[in-house]
Structure 1
Amino acid sequence: DLGLVDGNVVNGTTYYYVVSAFNADGESVKSSEASATPQAQVSSLPAGWTDGDIGSVGVAGSASYSGGTFSISGSGSDIWGANDAFNYAYESTSGDSTIIARAASQQNTSGWAKSGVMFRDSTAANAAYAFIMVTPANGVSFQVRAANGGSAAQIGVTAGIAAPEWVELARSGSTFTAYYSSDGSTWTQLGTTTVTMASGALAGLAVCAHNNTALNTSTFDNVSVAGSAPDFSLSASPNNLTITQGANGTSTITINPIAGYNNTVSLSASGLPNGVTASFTPASTTSSSTLTLSASNTAATGTAAVTVTGTDGTLTHTTTVSLTISTSGGGFSGTYQLQNEASSLVLNNQGSTTEGTAITEWKSVTSQNLEWTFNPAGCQAGYYQIVSVKSGLDAAVQGASTSDGAGIIQWAFGASGNDQWEPQQNSDGSYTFVNLNSGLVMEDPGSSTSKSTQMDQWSSNGGANQKWKLLLQ
């Protein structure tokens, strides 16, 4: 039994063959012609899953599945506005459901390329949806279209996060709640909102290149779509409070039920600044509670993230209230991270103890590189040195320049005034820092979200990139 194997072939090309036999007496008559067209092996999607392009895409997309990993390739200009264009691998759901996946990898076809998990009312380009995604340069974002034919809106965003990252969407009726996690164990709620969507909505993996001439290939693992067990999420309204020393403020903490949850949740608060107390009325609830934050006359000033925790047996969820304590005297005590309102990144001395090192920005983590104190010693009244905890050097304008665009570096305290800053508080509780020498303000140039961007000074224009929140450590 003889066989012929031709290994030097190209998928999709047709090859033709005839066979003859040779021996010492000569060659036999040739056989009839036969043909064969090799095809690439395609991994099918799991049972119940479908893949297709949504809207008008420039390059056809595709999806495959192998060894627990989905590979999704999508073109499209965006998932935004009134109509979407992307690739979607999905299955049907019924009622309350949860989809979880780890976005394991993502090509950088655009800073706003989008890869994540989505609930969608239909495959129409203008269908209602809820979508939490990772991006190459703009962090993790929760975006929705609240009704069919409406316009998209952003519910929440956290900068400085990219693949690999876990993402989750939980549906309870018309309420959709988005979470993200670095390890699949500890989850952070990004937002919750209401979307009008049919009970049998689609749930799946969405990829958009944000570039209609390219394909973005992203991979996902640990993918699960399941009917939700009874659970809850927390939300705070308002989630930003600004109070003065000696005063108090309130926020309503709401228990958002998932899949018929109706148990009692016990509430607690942590991360309180020195001199601040928290109380809940009531302390346990099935619906909502009023959180009261009270600041003493000597409470530490600045901005802190107060974590509200709700517990019911083994179920635990959190939400965050940003608390800013101000004082008419303008005093600052303690150690802070300085978070830019435009980028959500914090001031960073890059771990250097050398004069002249550029001051950049970085994702907020626990590190002396990112911690600063305010020292009025030797400064004009109302001005401070902004001192790096890591180096003991000040944030200063390079070369004592008075020009727009001059970079911010670290330097030993001097007499020129280029390292003296006046904190001017804004109505939202943030601060603008005005340089004594130049009269210009510290900013994140161009509202950059790049961790290598050097901060500079510029004429004050009220932009978010010139506003800084003080995060008390």
Structure 2
Amino acid sequence: FNPGSTTSSSTLTLTASSTAATGTVTVTITGTDGTLTHTTTISLTVNAASGGLPAGWTDTDIGSVGIAGSASYSGGVFTVSGSGADIWGTADSFNYAYQSISGDQIVIARVASENGTASYAKSGVMIRESTASGSVFASVLITPANGVAMEVRPTTGASAINLAGWIRNVLPPQWVKLVRSGSTFTGYYSADGSSWTQISSTSVTMATSATAGLAVTAHDNTSLNTATFDNVSISGSAPAPDFSLSASPTSLTITQGANGTSTITINPVNGYNNTVSLSASGLPSGVTALFNPSSTTSSSTLTLSASSTAATGTATVTITGTDGTLTHTTTISLTVNATVNFSGIYQIQNEASGLVLNNQGKLTNGSPITQWTSVASSNLDWQFFPTSNGYYQINSCKSALDAVVQSASTAAGAGIIQWSFGSSGDDQWQPQANSDGSYTFVNLKSGLVLADPGGSTSTSTQMDQETATGGSNQKWMLLLQ
């Protein structure tokens, strides 16, 4: 303070040494006169000196490099230049700007640019036990032409390993992240630093005291690769490994006496790789759940089976995954329809057009199924033959051929034809009862529904399959003959 005491004002000079800690702090100024004391504050930000590295950072060349590397820092941007043949094999050669660390860590940086001429020049984040060329390490490295990868050396002097191959078309600018949790190392990349994609996760035996920072190699010992990094952070206390659950599909419709399946997937978070035990709750009366397997590290097939007297309606089934104190859930919407008694001969009438399915009197495979005004004619008559799990053949009384999706297509808009019964599922339909007494017919192969395109009233319109919307052109009344 100049002066140190005053009746009016004083000039405060704050001076940072060359090794002062960087960052932002609140400085409190206190004024005292006898028993009177008052304060004010100043927000002070200390940046690293332009051209130098922030306090606690060190730069060094690792291994045998052809050209000395360097690292500098200015305005929140690290610029690191490195020569070296590669970060690979049993011994590495590159430039490394790093901090000394201890224990679990999260290392994040955005590789803003790199100018190496070799397609496998590499820049990224690394946690490394020591600066020896054959040290154990884990890294997430990005190249100017070949994408991003997670590479590790699991033991000292061993050959480095690319865990998941090169993920192509992921090029700078790109965020990279490496998380250490005990001996588990997990690598990620991101386009925005918010939504992360996991590359891989593995175990590396590494001392608690290690190093973490920015690694750059030219993949060419006669040149330099210069990379710029921003949004760099190295922080301790890596988040604990965890998991989430997902189901596919998330909704099932089954008939009394039938079953349906959904795949339950364990999604690892922060390198999680334990076994999860699965259970189901919220099952309607008469419905049972079977997981295969019941405990898994990856995925399980859930089969929900309804007895012939199972309660009908829609219920939310909760799937719970448990590993010790970790518990997570996902849900499946389950609809159980009443058993349908389709004995007899029917005309199948569309709600939108008022017309009925018509095989046009054709007796051959491939003939389009259209619609016609309801009259007494075997061309318009159909029978239902059960197959399995609540599905039926819709069989023409005229031709004894079935209503089939053309070319076994799974695309919306594919036409409906008649064809001999096969085994591909495109000729099997699940009737789902609607509240107005009509039915929606869901194809086993495609999951799409039988429809009158656009609710057409033309008798020449070929029926098709569409994504279910609940529209009247997708609802059918059964007229017993």
TM-score (norm 2): 0.45
TM-score (norm 1): 0.46
Please tell me whether Structure 1 or Structure 2 has the larger radius of gyration of its CA atoms. 2
